[in-house]
Structures are given as structure tokens and as C-alpha cells.
Structure 1
């Protein structure tokens, strides 16, 4: 009886290990924003993940920012990029399109919903180059590749007249824009400080707080932190 129990225990242990291995492999499928290490430049990373970054690539090519992500520009060999995903670009473009039609007396929302993907790309191609460059460089820290764990912890402001809280650090972005950036460990099961660490970016000029959806995507020319899907390029 003892031998059978030992065999059963061994079998259960093996099965448990296999299940754990399967779960681990599933949780770390190297696709999209789940990939934390990329063996190439930031530009190559963007190109290889079109679901999230095809608009960033298309726009950067047109306005001459490709070298910034290849590490060959004046912004440095290593940069930190708070990346704007396709969802954010699309929402911004559709909102601009809808507002223009509405201002001319039409139903902007309804017309915007009818646009095809190709028509949205046409809007992207018409986006003012200087404005687009500022949008992208507002999210770039030059000459530093900063992972989540190296940002200074802080706390959100409780003063409605001042969006800058305590701790954190103010960074001058590649565009010249200043952003207050801080990390904060959120609550888990209502226990403060036991949840995942998050990264928050605050613009004093717009008084908007944005957070990072995916951290520490490491490339050979820097680190990408992907901004939340509902981020707006005008939030900075």
C-alpha cells in the first residue's frame, strides 16, 4: 500500500510540474507587447510588431524619426520611449475627423465610423509633420534607457490646482516638454503597496496623468514602455 501511495505521489508531482510548465509557457508567448527582450533595435522591434506599432513606423518614416529609434540620431544611442500605439493614433485621427465634420454642420461621429483602415491611414499621412514629431518626441527621454524599477517612487497630487505630487522626478523629453514621472506600487486585495508597480506620467501643461500599460520592452537601442490604449497624443 505504501509503495502505491509513493508512486501516486510521484505521478501527481510530475503532472503538477508539467501543468506549471505549460502555464508558464502560455503566459510568456513572445508576441506583441508580451515580448520583454528583443534582439534588435527599437526600430526593428516596432517593425516586427505591426499590430501595435505600424502607425508609429509609418509616421516616423515620413517625418524623419527612424534614426531616433535606431540609435543613430542626436537623441542618443540609447533612449527611453513611451510609445503611442495604433489604438491611440486611430482614436485621435477619428476624433479630429469627426470634429471637423461636426463643425461644418454634419454628423461627425457617424461619418468617422464609416472610415476604412485605408482611409484612416490617409488621415495619418495628412497629419502635420511638426505636430506629429512633437507627439512622438514628447514621449522620448534622450540618451537614457530607463527600466521601470529605476524610476523614482512617488505619490499622486491631492491638490486639484497642482498636478505634481510628491517624489518622482521631472524629465525633459526630446521635444523639450517636461513631464513628471513616478512609479507607484498599487494595492492588491485592498492591501496598499502589495500590488504590481505602475509607472505614471504627468503633464503640468495639460494636467493629464497617463499610465504605462506594458513596461520594460528591452531592445538594443533602448527601452520601450507602451502607453495605455486610451492615451491621446494630446495628453502631454
Structure 2
């Protein structure tokens, strides 16, 4: 009898552990609550993840913005960065190149598709410095490291002539541009307010709403929120 009870207790313990591990996996996959910690500066984080950030690193070096991400620049020792990934830079550069070729009578899309990675980096190096700096600084909140959970909840505008909805907060970015930023808990299984919390950024000047793909990448000099891959640098 004692042996059977011990076996039953062992089975219950294993079952409980499996259940808890399943819940942990569910929270990670479905709710997006996982927070990554990087034991270094934001600049070091960008350098260590070239798949997403090599273009931001490359152009920031040319513009002298490295200190901004190292916490020693004019925007404070802690910043919030809505980061533009390689995919967004690449799409922007290819679109600009295709438009230029088309305007000169060529097949812009075909020419753009033939560009090599080195040629695309060449386009990045030729990007106007003032414009490129504005793109990056548009996504930086100075002197504050703000996680997802600290942004004010809000609701999207239902007024087609005014993109600013209710709640949220308007932030002045490092470039001087103002963005209305709000969090919103989306639906899950068609039930409103039960899904993962998302972060939305709205530009009154362009009337474009963008959202964050990956939240709360914590570094020693601030927090990175990675913008969606189809974000365009001109959306702000």
C-alpha cells in the first residue's frame, strides 16, 4: 500500500510539473510577456544582434549617434528606443532606388531586385545624413527607459480627420517630433481585452499608426522596443 501511495505521489508531482511548464510556455508564446535582459549598453546589444540591427549600427556610426545608445550623449543615460530594423531600412532604400530608376525611364522594380547586399549598403551610406538622423531620433524618447507596462492604455481614433484617439500620452521625441503612444490589450479567441498587450505609435503629421513587434528589450542604457518589420522610416 505504501509503495502504491509513493508511486501515486510521484506521478502527481510529475503531472504538476508538466502542467506548470505548459503554462509557462503558453504565456511565452501567446501573451508576449517575456522580457529580455542584455548585460550591456544598448549599443552593445545592437552590435551583438546584426540580423536585425547591423544597418542601424552602420548608419549611426556615420552620424555620430553611438554615444546616444551608450548613454553618454545629449539624450540622457537612459532612453527608450523604438528601433528600426534592417528589414525596414532595406525596404525603404529599395523603394527609393526603384522610384528613381522608374523616373528616369527604367524598370525600377526589376533593377532594385538585382541589387546585391553590398550595393544596398552603398545606398545606405549615400542616404542623406539629415534625413537619416531624423529617422532614428524620431524613435527615441530622451532620458526615460519606459517598459510596455508603463505606457498609458488608450483607444484608436474613430475620427478619420484626427488620428489621435483617447487615453495614451503624447511624447516629444529626440527629433522634436511628437508621437501619440498608447497601449492596448487585444482580443484572444474573439474575446476583447484578453489577448496580449500591444504598443501603438501614432504620428499626427503622417496620420500613420505603427505598432511594436517586440517589447521590453532591457539594456543598461535603456529599453528597446523593436518596430514591426513592415514599418517605413517615413511613417513618423
Equivalent-residue separation in structure 1 for 2:144 and 2:51 (angstroms)? 26
SS at match of 1:93: helix
Q: Structure 1 residues 108 and 7 mapped into 2: Cα distance closer, same or farther (>3 Å)?
A: same
SS at match of 1:90: helix
Q: Structure 1 residues 102 and 139 mapped into 2: Cα distance closer, same or farther (>3 Å)?
A: same
Equivalent-residue separation in structure 1 for 2:105 and 2:210 (angstroms)? 33
Contact kept, 8 Å, 2:169 with 2:180, in 1: the verdict is yes
CA positional deviation for 1:100: 0.6
Equivalent-residue separation in structure 1 for 2:23 and 2:198 (angstroms)? 24
Aligned twin of 2:219: 219
CA positional deviation for 1:14: 2.6
SS at match of 1:106: coil
Deviation digits for residues 117-136 of structure 1 (CA, Å, limit 9, x no counterpart): 11111111110111000000
SS at match of 1:193: coil
Aligned twin of 1:84: 84
Equivalent-residue separation in structure 1 for 2:201 and 2:161 (angstroms)? 17
Instruction: Indicate the larger mover: 107-116 or 221-230.
Output: 107-116
SS at match of 2:44: helix
Equivalent-residue separation in structure 1 for 2:191 and 2:17 (angstroms)? 30
Equivalent-residue separation in structure 2 for 1:107 and 1:12 (angstroms)? 67
CA positional deviation for 1:189: 1.0
SS at match of 2:135: helix
Q: Structure 1 residues 5 and 102 mapped into 2: Cα distance closer, same or farther (>3 Å)?
A: farther
Aligned twin of 1:31: none
Q: Structure 1 residues 134 and 10 mapped into 2: Cα distance closer, same or farther (>3 Å)?
A: same
**Are residues 1:109 and 2:112 paired?**
no
CA positional deviation for 1:115: 1.0
Aligned twin of 1:128: 128
Deviation digits for residues 154-192 of structure 1 (CA, Å, limit 9, x no counterpart): 100000000000111110000000000001111111111
SS at match of 1:183: strand
User: What is the TM-score normalised by the length of structure 2?
Assistant: 0.91
CA positional deviation for 1:6: 5.1
Aligned twin of 2:97: 97
Equivalent-residue separation in structure 2 for 1:78 and 1:51 (angstroms)? 24
Equivalent-residue separation in structure 2 for 1:154 and 1:11 (angstroms)? 47
Equivalent-residue separation in structure 1 for 2:84 and 2:56 (angstroms)? 7
Q: Structure 1 residues 154 and 21 mapped into 2: Cα distance closer, same or farther (>3 Å)?
A: closer
Q: Can you give the 5+ residue segments of structure 1 that lack an aligned partner in the other structure? A: 29-33
Aligned twin of 2:56: 56
Q: Can you give the 5+ residue segments of structure 2 that lack an aligned partner in the other structure? A: 29-33
Equivalent-residue separation in structure 2 for 1:10 and 1:193 (angstroms)? 39
Contact kept, 8 Å, 2:212 with 2:226, in 1: the verdict is yes
Equivalent-residue separation in structure 2 for 1:199 and 1:148 (angstroms)? 7
CA positional deviation for 1:7: 1.7
SS at match of 2:38: coil
Q: CA RMSD in A?
A: 2.3
